[in-house]
């Protein structure tokens, strides 16, 4: 059986194997992934088959329109974080086309409802894929444009409005 579950520190080596296969041109360190799991474990998931990591997702809150630099540690989740950021969803090719990405995105967007918007950096021409989930291009300033260059020439900053949970009742 193949299923998503919350990531643990013990999953980092398996995650790195997937990351190195999917994103050879966008390397990130073990320290970056380890920190994300420690800072916001509910936003970090792994796709597992027979104890083998075959996919992962990393996500966490950020201040609006301020995604982190590629391969950088955060130190902490900012106290003024008011936007949800999907840093990465990566699935090995042999597990694609089976609905695992949609399942993961649904799980992440359920967490994201705590925030007015969700954002991400689309790479490898995946903006049409993300459009199916309500993500669209967002205007970017000079600082964000500089960060996007780290993700490659085709990187596009996308965001979507979330249907917020109503805690008042």
Per-residue pLDDT tens for 53-106?
999 999 999 999 999 999 999 999 999 999 999 999 999 999 999 999 999 999
Per-residue pLDDT tens for 32-48?
999 999 999 999 999 99
Q: What pLDDT score was predicted for residue 165?
A: 55
Cα distance between residue 158 and residue 65, in whole Å = 10
Stated pTM of the model = 0.94
Cα distance between residue 130 and residue 145, in whole Å = 19
Q: For residue 66, what are its two tokens? A: 């301020």
Q: Give the chain's end-to-end CA distance (angstroms, integer).
A: 39
Per-residue pLDDT tens for 114-132?
999 999 999 999 999 999 9
pLDDT(169) > 60: no
């Amino acid at each position: 059986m193949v299923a998503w579950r919350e990531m643990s520190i013990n999953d980092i080596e398996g995650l790195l194997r997937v990351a190195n296969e999917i994103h050879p041109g966008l390397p990130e360190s073990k320290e970056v992934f380890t920190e994300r799991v420690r800072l916001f474990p509910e936003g970090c998931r792994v796709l597992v088959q027979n104890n083998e990591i075959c996919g992962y997702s990393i996500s966490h809150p950020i201040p609006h329109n301020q995604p982190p630099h590629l391969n950088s540690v955060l130190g902490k989740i900012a106290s003024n974080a008011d936007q949800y950021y999907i840093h990465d969803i990566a699935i090995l090719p042999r597990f694609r086309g089976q609905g695992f990405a949609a399942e993961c995105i649904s799980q992440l967007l359920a967490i994201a409802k705590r925030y007015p918007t969700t954002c991400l950096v689309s790479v490898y021409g995946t903006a049409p894929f993300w459009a199916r989930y309500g993500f669209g291009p967002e205007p970017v300033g000079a600082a964000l444009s500089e960060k996007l260059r780290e993700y490659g020439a085709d990187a596009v900053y996308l965001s979507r409005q979330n249907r917020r949970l109503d805690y008042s009742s």
